[in-house]
Structure 1
């Protein structure tokens, strides 16, 4: 069997003295693993860095086998990402989240969203906001999407300020105010079609919102932690918010 695809490199682990098993996300074959011979050579080490885009050819005798990858660099992104906190946190979070997907399960929308996010990690606040939006999409793809279209209590589509931790549905300001201490904050920039420019407090609230549901539905049941870079990003946002 053989196929060729563009791919985003999200992980690598050594195998033997000179080879490695790489983990990539592809638009048509999902999250996929394969062996790269000579992966630790001087030629391939700069290529096989998380965040780089590759052109990969996968070959195996049977579809169920690990298989062999041959790789070519199509976009060197990793070096630029390592130059800023936003880039370092961003690539670690994206890679960690993509590992939550079932192996070889196709998610072309998430693949494209991951590439777009990694190509726009310019400022820390903007990058963190992109991560929050990516996590909303991830929850939806995993079957745990939030309903942010109308108020669960009144049906209103305006003044949506909270999310119910039980139903994962939006709640408007009037209906939610008496129960605000039991609801999750909903920053306006996460609403469908919103063009609001969020501040550090908004983005921190967004990450707390998505993190709550990722932990409840995905990480918790698997007894795993969300990427540590995510907590570091949130901590930096909290520091910026307190510094204002």
Structure 2
């Protein structure tokens, strides 16, 4: 059994002295792990850095085996992201969320395409935390936990949507929320309008929103916490907001 495809490196862990267990993400194979022999060597370790886009070849005797993974660089994303603390935190967070939330060996084309679009922006240090929140909404939808932000769950209104129910994931207007407002999550306007860039406060609210549903549904159903890299990003953004006053 074998396959070849371009893929995104999501995780690489040491195995023995010189090998790595690599988790990669492809459009057709989904999240797929393999043994990269010699992957930790000086000559090959740069290839398997998280976020890199790599031409992959997986070979195994049986489909359910770990198999062997080899690759050649298509685009090095990690070195560019390492030039900026926020870009690096975003890269680590998005890869940790993707590899932790998606089921293995199941195609998830919308999430793959969304991540493929985000990576070059991370390498160029122009991606924002808001773009990660938008990606996480795509991932939640892929998993069957998509948020319904089209109309108010209580009144049916499509304007003035400002909150989200933490229980149902449906949008609500300020007026309809009434006394329940304090129990709901803020809905940043940029999540409903792609033309809006958002700002630090909106990005933090967006990460809080998607983080709630990721933690409860994508990770909670498997008794796992939200990845530490994702938590670190939120705290980094919080610190920037505090520093800016």
Aligned equivalents of 2:81 and 2:223: distance in 1?
Answer: 29
Q: Does 1:189 align with 2:190?
A: yes
Q: TM-score, normalised by structure 2?
A: 0.92
Aligned equivalents of 2:194 and 2:177: distance in 1?
Answer: 21
RMSD: 1.7
Aligned equivalents of 2:215 and 2:56: distance in 1?
Answer: 33
Aligned equivalents of 1:238 and 1:13: distance in 2?
Answer: 29
Aligned equivalents of 1:175 and 1:194: distance in 2?
Answer: 25
Q: Provide Cα deviations, 1:87-124, integer angstroms capped at 9, x if missing partner.
A: 22112111111122111010111112112222213557
Structure 1 residues 178 and 53: CA distance shift in structure 2, 3 A: same
Match of 2:227 in 1: 227
Unaligned runs of 5+ in 1: none
Match of 1:30 in 2: 30
Match of 1:201 in 2: 201
Structure 1 stretches of at least 4 aligned residues deviating more than 6 Å after TM superposition? none
8 A contact 1:24–1:31 mirrored in 2: yes
Match of 1:155 in 2: 156
Match of 2:39 in 1: 39
Aligned equivalents of 1:21 and 1:240: distance in 2?
Answer: 35
Aligned equivalents of 2:160 and 2:32: distance in 1?
Answer: 42
Match of 1:48 in 2: 48
Match of 1:133 in 2: 134
SS in 1 for 2:86: helix
Deviation of 1:173 after TM superposition, in Å, equals 2.2
Q: Provide Cα deviations, 1:117-137, integer angstroms capped at 9, x if missing partner.
A: 22213557x520011111111
